[in-house]
């Protein structure tokens, strides 16, 4: 018998399997933003375990975004994205070490702006 949770997992797996590379990048941004927001909430609630868990998940996604960059073919755009991802990663570390919700706000702003840009590109390509 399928549970609501297993149905959600199946839907997510199908979404990922059928997504274009651009849509996968947007999904990564969505995940990072979700974890950043949860990390910020945990900081405000002084829940250090949850804070660390959520921020670490966001760090993993940012690391994945960094590893996907093709620095040779990507040229200036790849260099600029690497600089932004490095900044976000550093801010995530600082937020986790210093319980700094404002650092997470900065991360959220950068990633929201980038996500919007990728989303616009996705719309143009349809």
pLDDT of 21 higher than 60: yes
pLDDT tens per residue across span 59-95: 999 999 999 999 999 999 999 999 999 999 999 999 9
For the chain, the average pLDDT equals 91
15 occurs within a structural domain: no
From the list 102, 105, 68, 63, the residue with the least C-alpha distance to 85 is 63
Instruction: Tell whether 70 is covered by a domain.
Output: yes
Specify the CATH number for the domain of residue 113: 1.20.120.340
Higher pLDDT, 21 or 61: 61
In a domain, 24, yes or no: yes
Average pLDDT over residues 13-39: 89
- Which pTM value belongs to this model? 0.86
Instruction: Answer whether residue 12 is part of any domain.
Output: no
Is the pLDDT assigned to residue 96 strictly greater than 80? yes
| Nearest residue to 28 via CA among 6, 58, 7, 55 | 58
Q: How many domains does the chain have?
A: 1
């Amino acid at each position: 018998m399928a549970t609501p949770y297993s149905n959600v997992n199946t839907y997510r797996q199908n979404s990922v399997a059928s997504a274009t590379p651009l849509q996968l990048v947007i999904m990564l941004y969505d995940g990072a933003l979700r974890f950043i927001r949860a990390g910020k909430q945990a900081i405000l609630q002084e829940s250090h375990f949850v804070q660390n868990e959520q921020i670490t998940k966001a760090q993993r996604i940012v690391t994945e975004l960094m590893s996907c960059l093709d620095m040779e073919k990507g040229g200036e755009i790849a260099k600029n994205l690497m600089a932004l991802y490095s900044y976000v990663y550093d801010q995530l570390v600082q937020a986790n070490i210093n319980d700094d919700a404002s650092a997470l706000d900065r991360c959220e702003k950068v990633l929201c702006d980038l996500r919007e840009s990728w989303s616009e590109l996705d719309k143009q390509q349809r």
